[in-house]
Amino acid sequence: MTGITEQQNSTSINIDQMNSDEILTLINSEDQKVPRAVNEAIPVITKFVDKVISCLEKGGSLFYIGSGTSGRLGVLDAVECVPTFSVPSTMVQGIIAGNKDAMFRSIEGAEDDKAAGERAVLEAGISDRDVILGIAASSTTPYVLAALKAAKQTGAFTGLLCCNEAQQSDFVDVLIPIIVGPEVITGSTRMKSGTATKLVLNMITTTTMIKLNKTYGNLMVDLKACNHKLWERGTRLVAHFTDLPHNEAGELLRNCDGEVKTAIVVHKLKISQDEARKTLKNALGSLRSVIG
């Protein structure tokens, strides 16, 4: 039976006869189905996220593994966690079939290489401390399924994010199906399926980082200033919490090596940088617990 991601979309059968405005309107109309499909999957996403939070609290890591668009989106989400939440690059990691070259060009056949999927798990050192999420719009990508089987054998907690109605497998602890329907261009899962994947990955890591005390309310207080934009954002955050003038907030942040939370605690509690860092560590990084 043909999976949903390979079925022909009845609304776009004559898309080559439409003008540009009609094509864009049709694509946009189909895209609006994506958030509704994601919403229906929130209960199972919640189950997966709660396991990720528990794992990371104990020093484990979250791994994404996929091929093509799915793999690229996993790598993207993992990489962006580092500057956004000041986490080590080992906390959230992305693995893509075909390795780094596949980020920039299509590596034909990589998604079918089961042995490479197994090797990727071994080379990453995935263990029973970790969580691994396979990303495969079709739910059948050999590379991804082989990796999940190998990860399960290590004792890792496993999940599969897909856009087909897949059967639960004994090597997948949590199945996350996002049923967005057939693509506007048949089989082009970089479209609705890719959008759904991006939404879900954003939800997983953002929720996890919030629960790991990487924010204060909706403010990104755990960022590490490492470029002009982040220095400016960090300075505004320090000024917001301390009521210092912008230039003084910036100087305080520089004195605290660009660490926003450290700078805020130094000013609020009138303590040294080392004492501020120790206080935050004892509070599991919760700025709210330290300053109220």
Closest by CA position to 242, among listed 216, 224, 281? 216
Among candidate residues 30, 57, 111, 232, the one labeled active-site is 111
Determine whether 248 is an active site residue.
no
- Listed in sequence order, the residues at least 6 apart from 64 whose beta carbon sits closer than 8 Å to its beta carbon are 71, 74, 75, 77, 78, 92, 93, 94, 95, 132, 133, 135, 201
Residue 90 CB neighbours (<10 A): 11
β partners of residue 177: 162
Length of the chain: 292
Backbone dihedral region of 197: left (phi > 0), alpha (psi from -120 to 50 degrees) or beta? alpha
How far apart CA 154 and CA 130 sit, in angstroms, is: 9
How far apart CA 145 and CA 135 sit, in angstroms, is: 9
Determine whether 111 is an active site residue.
yes
Among candidate residues 6, 40, 57, 80, the one labeled active-site is 80
Under 8 Å between Cβ of 253 and 263:
yes
**Active site members:** 80, 111
